[in-house]
């Protein structure tokens, strides 16, 4: 089920795990799942599951059991901002940091919302038959009649 990769990637991105790992003081930038838990509050077992899933796709590396390091791919997720700043101001991290983190968030949250609602929206003739940009699975899911790009601007 290919939906799992963007959902796990979006979750790890939202939690700021790439930034946490970038702040590691250990040799080679390594950090255990337990240390990541201490920073973001997600239990170490879940951190390990998320990162193991991604490491199987060369996004993060499990250097020893439950100890993680960046790969070239996971470094792209790092906004370049301190983790504490992300926690204080999670929305503006996308305007201040590198673009990759913002892109991941956009694709895994905003775009995914429209895709996820497609099945249920197209059960209704209003959405099934319409070519109107204000009558799409995305607008149904968001409870708006504002077209996607206008919604994004707001």
In contact, 16 and 114? CB cutoff 8 Å: no
The list of the chain residues with pLDDT below 70 reads: 1
Q: What integer pLDDT is reported at residue 140 of this predicted model?
A: 86
Please state whether the predicted TM-score (pTM) of the whole model is above 0.85.
Answer: no
Q: What integer pLDDT is reported at residue 1 of this predicted model?
A: 61
Domains in the chain, ordered, with CATH?
4-101 (1.10.10.10), 117-153 (no CATH)
In contact, 32 and 47? CB cutoff 8 Å: no
């Amino acid at each position: 089920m290919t939906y799992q990769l963007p959902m796990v990637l979006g979750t790890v991105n939202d939690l700021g795990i790439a930034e946490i790992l970038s702040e590691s003081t250990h040799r080679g930038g390594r950090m255990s799942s337990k240390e990541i838990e201490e920073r973001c509050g997600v239990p170490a077992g879940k951190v390990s599951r998320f990162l193991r899933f991604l490491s199987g796709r060369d996004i993060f590396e499990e250097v020893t059991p439950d100890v993680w390091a960046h790969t070239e791919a996971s470094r792209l997720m790092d906004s370049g901002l301190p983790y504490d700043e992300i926690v204080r101001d999670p929305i503006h991290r996308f305007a201040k940091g590198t673009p990759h983190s913002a892109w991941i968030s956009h694709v895994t949250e905003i775009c995914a919302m429209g895709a996820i609602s497609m099945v249920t929206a197209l059960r209704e003739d209003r959405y099934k038959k319409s070519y109107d940009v204000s009558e799409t699975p995305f607008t149904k899911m968001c409870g708006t009649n504002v077209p996607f790009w206008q919604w994004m601007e707001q």
